[in-house]
Amino acid sequence: MHPDHHYDAIIIGAGPAGLTAGIYLSRARLKTLILTEGMAGGQLILTHEIANYPGVESVSGYQLANIMKKQAKSFGCEIKTNTISKKLDLSGAVKSVTLANGDTFTSHALILSPGGRPRNLNVPGEDRFKGRGISYCATCDGDFFTGKEITVVGGGNSALEEAVSLTRYASKVTIVHQFNHFQAYRHAVEEAQNNPRIDFMMESTIVEFYGKENLEGVKIKNINKGTIRQYKTDGVFIFIGYVPNTEFLDGLIEKNAMGEIQVSSQMETNVPGVFAAGDSVVKKYRQVTTAISDGTIAALSATEYINRIKQKTSRQILTSIS
């Protein structure tokens, strides 16, 4: 093991769960490394406004993520961004992570918090018009549609909340949802329904995107009648959930049929010394606060695990000396 590349704990992923775990582990004076493919913050940095974070009236996702990152670094946590984990070895007492550039890092404990990515509709034209009229991030692309008419797909909290935020830019927002009711909290539904710039197209689904260089419209199917009509729109924002970023863990740890990591109440996976937290684990609710809870539990569990290993190693050294 290269001494400069060995840590007490390595965290893969720097969303709210990973950053929280980094804060707790490094504050416990454990040498901690966070590896993340993109920027620190994960999906959090794409959220326009967070108004239900306890103790904070309102904050942007980017601001909250930046605070978490600064906290972790202030306690000594090392964060490496824009890294891609190519190979993991979880078989022994010492875990190893090899990056795409060939660097290998080792640790006693590993916390997996790779998060998720936006779910696609997977209909014709979607891949073609990504970034050319189709978006999955209101914060990133909302201002490109100032004064234009746009469409939002989805019926959960994210879809309705982001639809409301998009009315700051768009002249009209039409929400397309496959059911006759929403899966969001009442306050989110009421806020959307009371917004004069928002219309609703219920029991409907987009079956195709069309246009020339850029998106010009969509084909919408009425689920009850089976009829399909063309609907002109300047842009489409898709908020239908996330897919866990766990493909790189195939064959290494236990996952469910949806690719979510199976964990115990202590955030333990089926591999000793490997823990998981955040949107990539099996759970019902996915919020910033639940990710932070996961990260806290995973870090505390990992701390106990690391301390047991260090105590065992110390006893073995003393026994060999005596």
Which of 141, 234, 279, 294 is an active site residue? 141
Is 141 designated active site? yes
Is 77 designated active site? no
Residue 125 in tokens = 């034209």
**Which residues, 6+ apart, have CB-to-CB distance to 296 below 8 Å?**
20, 21, 24
Where does the chain have alpha helices with state H? 16-27, 61-74, 126-129, 138-141, 157-166, 186-193, 288-321
Is 137 designated active site? yes
How far apart, in whole angstroms, are the C-alpha atoms of residue 21 and residue 36? 14
Which of 89, 140, 143, 199 is an active site residue? 140
- What Å distances lie between residue 97 and 199, 232, 265, CA to CA? 49, 48, 25
Helix (H) or strand (E) holding 276, with range, is: strand 274-276
How far apart, in whole angstroms, are the C-alpha atoms of residue 303 and residue 322? 29
Q: What are phi and psi of 312, to 5 degrees?
A: -65, -40
Residues forming the active site: 137, 140-141
